Amino acid sequence: MSDGPVFVDPWLDLRGDGATGRQQRETITRELRGEIAADHPLYSRQAKIIARSLASDDIVVELAADAGRWAQVHLTWKGATETPPWPTTTFYDTIGAPEEDLHRAR
Q: Which residues contact 80 (CB under 8 A, 6 or more apart)?
A: 34, 35
Instruction: For strands 11-13 and 88-92, give the pairing.
Output: unpaired
Identify whether 39 is part of a domain. yes
Identify whether 3 is part of a domain. no
Tell me the pLDDT tens digit for each residue of 18-65.
998 999 999 999 999 999 999 999 998 999 999 999 999 999 999 987
What total number of domains does the chain contain? 1
Q: Would the pTM of this model clear 0.75, i.e. be above it? A: yes
Domain span including residue 25: 11-104
Give the integer Cα–Cα distance in Å for 81 and 95: 29
Identify whether 1 is part of a domain. no
Phi/psi region, residue 23 (left: phi>0; alpha: psi -120 to 50; beta: rest), is alpha
**What is the reported pLDDT for 103?**
62
**What is the reported pLDDT for 95?**
65
Contact 37, 26 (CB under 8 A): no
Longest dimension (CA), the chain: 34
